[in-house]
C-alpha cells in the first residue's frame, strides 16, 4: 500500500519566507528525483507563477 498523501499549507504575511520554504521543499524533491510527486498550487496566477505551480479555485 502506498502511504497517504502529505498535504502542506504554507501561509503567513508578506516577507515571512513562504517562497523560500517552498523553494527548499521543491529542491529536496528534485534532489530525490521525485519532482513528479510534488504538486504546488496557489490562489492567484501571480503566486502560482512564482512557485511554478497551478492555480486553485
Cβ burial of 24 (10 Å; 0-12, 13-18, 19+) is exposed
In a domain? residue 36: yes
- The pLDDT of residue 18 is 96
Looking at residue 50, what is its pLDDT? Answer: 94
pLDDT (0 to 100) of residue 2: 85
Q: Beta-strand (E) ranges in the chain?
A: 41-42, 54-55
Considering its fold, how many domains does the chain have in total?
1
Euclidean distance between the first and the last CA atom of the chain, given in angstroms as a whole number: 30
Q: Which domain holds residue 29?
A: 19-55
Determine, yes or no, domain membership for 1.
no
pLDDT score, position 48? 96
Residues 19-44 have pLDDT tens digits of: 999 999 999 999 999 999 999 999 99
28, 35, 44, 45, 51 from 25: Cα distances, Å: 5, 10, 20, 20, 11
In a domain, 44, yes or no: yes
46-56 residue pLDDT tens: 999 999 999 99
Amino acid at each position: 500500500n502506498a502511504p497517504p498523501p502529505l498535504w502542506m499549507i504554507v501561509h503567513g504575511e508578506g516577507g515571512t519566507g513562504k517562497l523560500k520554504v517552498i523553494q527548499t521543499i521543491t529542491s529536496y524533491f528534485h534532489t530525490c528525483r521525485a519532482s513528479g510527486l510534488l504538486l504546488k498550487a496557489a490562489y492567484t496566477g501571480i503566486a502560482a507563477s512564482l512557485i511554478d505551480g497551478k492555480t486553485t479555485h
